[in-house]
């Protein structure tokens, strides 16, 4: 392997038992047979699963729609290409002459596909646990970024910040009803905001969820009022 | 659990260590909190991965595009709903009053989502190996169908195998006409099968396409003859 290839391997931090898998993962179809498209198919599904599992466990209060949005941020092409660039993956790629001349080493689609193929190759080389470790390490920074983005979306925080920015009193939350068996509670919460005539009502499986729901409604009503 | 629920569990053939995961997987959001939407998010990614891995290994000659199409057939809503119906999953679901009255137990979207949630629950209950076993068992018939469909697309292979199975000579193909400009050729091919009186004729934009068309006709004529 050439120098850029060795640099890539150092950054990858994974040693293949079967180097033919690595070769294949790094071979773009423009370089002929033995290319990485089938590995890309496999790796795409693995990155999807690993990021889904990670978010499911890391975000116990997030609803399905939020998890789906966060995952979409992690697996979209430009995120994958950015992770590939941090690895200097482009310099290790085998490309056909045409792609080489037209800047294929730095093209998002080629980089993203090769990263997926690489993950597929690691999975075949040593199984899901090693592969999960690798993906979580490679995506650590991106995962931290999307999780921060989610925190920013938190309705209670947004409501509080909006009222503070206008110098208005903070909202108050009150649990007005708890019902259901212990394993299946339902909380009802009122959120009171001075500039809204009536409290908004939120329902959820936890106090926090009910408060978030009530805060979301309050934000909507403030939007409607043009606040 | 009620009788239909027990019947579902027998068909599922998996015993949960943590029954709260099963409860959650079977609870539609219309039935209130503790519903299955987060598990559905997780299970969707797991079914995608397991079917991708299965096809990758089972179809070593298939290209990425073919693998993608086969997988799409397996994970689309009506396939998932069909698998759920074979399990009688609908009868085990917890639904809110409105969904119950409007036939939610037999709605494709609800069944497909619950099947995904169930797979997510099995994964959390006992890991990927058990989950892979379950998915491959539940989808065995659908997997066989899509693999046949792929095989079925290749008429020349089917014709050859049919004749070999009967100990008959293999068919012969002959290009009898090529016309049109270089970028727009039309090939005409004869396929000769000993037990058919006349050759069948196929036309197509490539020699291969014309041969496939001729082979399909030969297969139809053999069917008509009861061969």
Please report the sign of the dihedral spanned by the C-alpha atoms of residue B49, residue B53, residue B58, residue B63: positive
Q: Write the ipTM.
A: 0.70
Q: In chain B, what percentage of residues exceed pLDDT 70?
A: 96
Domain B155-224 is found in CATH 3.30.160.20: yes
Q: Which B residues 53-72 touch A at CB under 8 Å?
A: 53, 56, 62-64, 67-68
For the ranges A122-131, A202-211, A217-226, B209-218, the lowest mean pLDDT is seen at A217-226
Q: Report domain extents, chain B.
A: 3-152, 155-224
Q: Are B81 and B158 in contact (CB under 8 A)?
A: no
Quick one: pLDDT band at residue A107, thresholds 50, 70, 90? very high
Q: Which of B38, B128, B135 is the best substitution to test chain A (most A C-beta atoms within 10 A)?
A: B38
Separation between Cα atoms, residue A84 and residue A47, nearest integer Å = 13
pLDDT at position B92, please? 95
pLDDT (average), residues A192-212: 90
pLDDT at position B25, please? 97
Instruction: Give one word for B203, left, alpha or beta, with left for phi > 0 and alpha for psi -120 to 50.
Output: beta
pLDDT at position A219, please? 85
pLDDT at position B115, please? 98
Greater confidence, B208 or A227?
B208
DSSP string, B43-69: HHHHHHHHHHHHHHHH-TT--HHHHHH
Q: CA of A64: how far to CAs of A60, A61, A152, A200, B116, in Å?
A: 10, 10, 17, 23, 13
pLDDT at position A153, please? 66
> Token pair of B70, please?
């086969």
Identify whether B86 is a catalytic site residue: no
B20 to A183: CB separation less than 8 angstroms, yes or no: yes
Domain A155-225 is found in CATH 3.30.420.40: no
For the structural domain made of B3-152, what CATH number should be given?
A: 1.10.1520.10
Q: Which residues pair with A172 in a beta bridge?
A: A192
Quick one: pLDDT band at residue A211, thresholds 50, 70, 90? very high
Query: What's chain B's length in residues?
Result: 227
């Amino acid at each position: 392997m050439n120098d850029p290839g060795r640099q890539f391997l150092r950054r990858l931090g994974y040693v293949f038992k079967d180097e033919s898998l690595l070769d294949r993962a790094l071979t773009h179809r423009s370089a002929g047979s033995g290319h990485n498209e089938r590995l890309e198919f496999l790796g795409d599904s693995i990155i999807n699963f690993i990021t889904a599992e990670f978010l499911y466990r890391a975000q116990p209060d997030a609803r399905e729609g939020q998890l789906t949005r966060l995952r979409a941020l992690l697996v979209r092409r430009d995120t994958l290409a950015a992770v590939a660039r941090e690895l200097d993956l482009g310099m290790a790629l085998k490309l056909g002459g045409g792609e080489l001349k037209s800047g294929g080493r730095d093209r998002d689609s080629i980089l993203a596909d090769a990263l997926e193929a690489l993950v597929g190759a690691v999975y075949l080389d040593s199984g899901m646990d090693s592969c999960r470790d690798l993906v979580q390490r490679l995506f650590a920074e991106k995962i931290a970024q999307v999780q921060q983005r989610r925190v920013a979306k938190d309705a209670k925080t947004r409501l509080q910040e909006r009222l503070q920015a206008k110098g208005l009193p903070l909202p108050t939350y009150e649990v007005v009803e708890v019902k259901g068996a212990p394993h299946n509670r339902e909380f009802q919460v009122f959120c009171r905001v001075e500039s809204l005539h009536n409290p908004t009502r939120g329902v959820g499986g936890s106090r926090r969820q009910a408060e978030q729901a009530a805060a979301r409604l309050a934000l909507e009503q403030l939007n409607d009022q043009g606040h």
